[in-house]
Amino acid sequence: MNVIALTPLDLILAGGLVILLAITSILMQLGVARRLLVAAVRTTVQLMLIGLVLNTLFANVQLVWVSLLAMVMLLVAGREVMARQHRRFGGIWGYGLGTLSMFVSAFATTVFALLVIVGTDPWYAPQYAIPLLGMMLGNTMNGVSLALDRLTTSAWQQRGVIEARLTLGQEWRVAIGDITRESVRVGMIPIINAMAAAGIVSLPGMMTGQILSGTPPMEAVKYQILIMFMIAAGTGFATMAASWIGARHLFDERCRLRLDRLIQGRS
C-alpha cells in the first residue's frame, strides 16, 4: 500500500479549520484566538523544520547527531515544564528539576526499549530512536509539569498545615507526604486515562500513523502497546522523582519550610 501524498493545498484546507475556530472564539470573546493561531504557526514551522532535520539525519546515521538532537529535545521540554507552572522553584532548580527527572526517566526507558526490546542495528537508528524519545519526552513532560505544579501550589496553599505538622515534631517527608503523593497521582492521570481509553475511545497517534502508512494493523497494535507501557513507566518514575526531589527542596537542612524558594510563574 502506497502512502497518499498530501499537497500544500490539503494542509491549507486543514489550516482553514483552525482559522475558523479562531474566528469563532473571537465572536464568543474567549480570548484564545491569538494563542491558537500562534500555536498553529509554531506547529507548522517546528514540524517542517524537524522534517528537514530528520531527512538529513536519516541519510547520515551517526550517534553524535542523534545525541545532539535528543539533547535539544530534552532542553526544550525542560523549558516547557518550567513555563507551565503557576509557582515554580527559582534559580537553576526551576529549570533543572524537571529536566533532570525527564532525562533520567525518559532516556533510560528509551535506551532500554531500543537495546532490549526493539533491537535495532545500530541501536541509535534515528528512525526508531527519535520518534520513541519524542513520544516519551512529550508525555513525561506533561506528567512532570502537572506534578510539580500541584506540589508547589498545594504547598503554598497549605503552608499553615505543613508548619503545624513540623511544630508537632513530624519529619519533612511526613509533613508534606500527602501533597507529594497527590502530586504524583495527578501527574500520572493523563497516561492512565490514555491507556484505559486506547482502542475503544481513541486510536493512539503512533498506531494511526503506522496504519495510514501501510503497516499491518496487528503490527501497529504491538508497537502501540510497547509505547504505552514505556510512557507509563517513564512518566511514573519521572513524576515520582520530580515530586520527591521538589518536596525535599521546599525544606532547608533544619527542616524548615522554605516557600521563599518559589517564584510566581507566568500562568
Shared domain for 27 and 128, answered yes or no, is no
Shared domain for 74 and 56, answered yes or no, is no
Shared domain for 166 and 254, answered yes or no, is yes
Average pLDDT of 87-95? 85
Say what the pTM is.
0.81
Please, are residues 174 and 251 in contact by the beta-carbon 8 Å criterion? no
Domain with 25 in it: 1-60
Shared domain for 164 and 236, answered yes or no, is yes
Average pLDDT of 89-94? 85
Q: Sign of dihedral through CA atoms 161, 167, 169, 172?
A: positive
Query: HSE (CB half, 13 Å, CA atoms) of 224?
Result: 22
Per-residue model confidence as pLDDT tens digits over 203-243:
777 787 778 777 788 888 888 888 889 999 999 999 999 99
Domain boundary at 20, 41, 60, which?
Answer: 60
Query: HSE (CB half, 13 Å, CA atoms) of 133?
Result: 27
Shared domain for 114 and 144, answered yes or no, is yes
| Three cell numbers, residue 147 | 506534578
Residue 266 confidence (pLDDT): 55
Shared domain for 175 and 131, answered yes or no, is yes
Shared domain for 15 and 38, answered yes or no, is yes
Domain boundary at 42, 60, 78, which?
Answer: 60
Shared domain for 93 and 221, answered yes or no, is yes
Shared domain for 32 and 72, answered yes or no, is no
Q: Which residues pair with 263 in a beta bridge?
A: 88
**Total number of domains constituting the chain:** 2
Shared domain for 119 and 238, answered yes or no, is yes
Shared domain for 187 and 71, answered yes or no, is yes
Shared domain for 193 and 243, answered yes or no, is yes
Domain boundary at 44, 60, 76, which?
Answer: 60
Residue 2 confidence (pLDDT): 62
The residue type at 226: L
pLDDT > 70 in the chain, percent: 98
